[in-house]
Every structure is written in structure tokens, then in C-alpha cells.
Chains A and B, each alone.
Chain A
């Protein structure tokens, strides 16, 4: 089984709808991240969490919210989806440690807002 899972894998929704993307991990990592990827822009950080009680905004948090329900679960919500939120969304986890640490990514959720 995959260490980092995301649901759904694909979603088409309409403008104005609320949508939640879910991420679960079995790696036992404290740190979790949400990114979006757009062609030509690379991955951009939306939110990150270093433990259950710690939530931080990333580079592009406007229009998004998150919930860290448990160490293993980190959800991303779009309260009112808009077409420019169409993107590939990745969840990632990492362990704590100095010197830079490897991030482990989920398989991604392809979201289309019409």
C-alpha cells in the first residue's frame, strides 16, 4: 500500500462549489504539506503543518483552508471553487530533522473547476 494517499484522484466540480481533498499517510511523519502544480509554474506551497496543532500558510493560501484532523490526516478545502483553481494538487509529508529532509508525495489529485 502507498505511504501517502490522496482522495479523490480526479474531480470535476462547478464554480462556487465547496470541495475537500483528503490526504492520509502511514509514514508516521509529523509534517504535512499541500502543493498545487500548474504548467510552467512548478509546485507552489499552499499550506503546511508541522504537527496537529500547527497550521501555517504557504505561498498561495488565499481561497483555501486546511484541517489537520490527526497526525496522519491533512485535508485541503476550497470553500468556493473558481476556475483558476484548476490544477494538480499534491500532498506531501516529511520527518523532522535539520539539513533539509526528503518529502514524500502522494499521487496527486487532478481538480478541474468549470
Chain B
């Protein structure tokens, strides 16, 4: 079983739709969680951190469920520019000081006009 798992998609949605991605992680000692965005053939970039209380940044909402060991990303009012691959990332070695990230394989979102 992979340490971090995502549905690879693709998710094809119309502009304006709301779409949600889930990601599960296997190590219950995982400390920190993130969503990165990767455009086609480009480098990943941090989209947002995921806090225990959940957090929102504009149209994006991230949530953490420690009991069920999953994190989610909700995108409201999808834009064409949201088309990308979204990577779920976990610091999974029990010590967030080491900074070693474990990446999911990514979920591809395609927003269509």
C-alpha cells in the first residue's frame, strides 16, 4: 500500500463547478500536510498547508481528518486556470523538523469552458 494515495482522475468539470479531491495517508504519526499544484511539465508549487482546524484561501478549502487519515481539497467556482495536477503531500516520519515530504501521485483536474 502506498503511503499517500490519491485518485489520479482525471476530473473533468465545467467552469464554475465545485470539485473535491481526497487523499489518504497510512502513517498515523504523520505530522504535517500540504497540497501542491503542478502545471503540466512544470515544477510543483505549494498551494496551501492543511491545518487540523481546516483552512480556507479564497476559493480553496483544505481539511484534515486525523481519525480517518485523509485530507481533502475543495475548489469552488472552478476556473479554467485551475486546470492542473494537485499533489497531496505528507510529512510522514513523525518529525516535522526533517522536512522529508511524501507525495501522492497527484489528481489531475481539467476545467472546461
Q: Which residues of A contact B (CB under 8 A)?
A: 31, 35, 40-45, 48, 58, 88, 90, 94, 96-103, 105-108
Most buried by B among A58, A97, A99, A108: A99
The listed residue (B45, B99, B100, B105) touching A41 by CB distance below 8 A is: B105
Task: Judge whether B43 and A105 touch: CB under 8 Å.
Answer: yes
Q: Given the interface contacts A40-B8, A42-B104, A98-B97, does A103 sit within 8 Å of B32 by beta carbon?
A: no
Q: Given the interface contacts A43-B87, A100-B96, does A108 sit within 8 Å of B32 by beta carbon?
A: no
- For B, the interface residue count at a CB cutoff of 8 angstroms equals 24
With a CB–CB cut-off of 8 A, which chain A residues contact B105?
Answer: 40-42
Q: Given the interface contacts A98-B97, A99-B96, A100-B31, does A43 sit within 8 Å of B103 by beta carbon?
A: yes
Q: Once bound together, how far apart are the Cα atoms of A98 and B43, in whole Å?
A: 24
Q: Quick one: which of B33-84 are within 8 Å of A by CB?
A: 33-34, 41-46, 49
The listed residue (A31, A96, A97, A107) touching B43 by CB distance below 8 A is: A107
Task: Judge whether B99 and A100 touch: CB under 8 Å.
Answer: yes
Would you list 30 pairs from A and B whose C-beta atoms are within 8 A, ordered by A residue?
A: A31-B99, A35-B103, A40-B8, A40-B105, A42-B87, A42-B105, A42-B106, A43-B87, A43-B101, A44-B103, A45-B100, A94-B99, A96-B97, A98-B96, A99-B31, A99-B32, A100-B32, A100-B33, A100-B49, A100-B91, A100-B99, A101-B99, A103-B46, A103-B99, A103-B101, A105-B45, A106-B43, A107-B43, A108-B42, A108-B43
The A contact surface, by secondary structure, is loop
Task: Judge whether A48 and B103 touch: CB under 8 Å.
Answer: no
With a CB–CB cut-off of 8 A, which chain A residues contact B99?
Answer: 31, 94, 96, 100-101, 103
With a CB–CB cut-off of 8 A, which chain B residues contact A99?
Answer: 31-32, 96
With a CB–CB cut-off of 8 A, which chain A residues contact B101?
Answer: 43, 45, 103
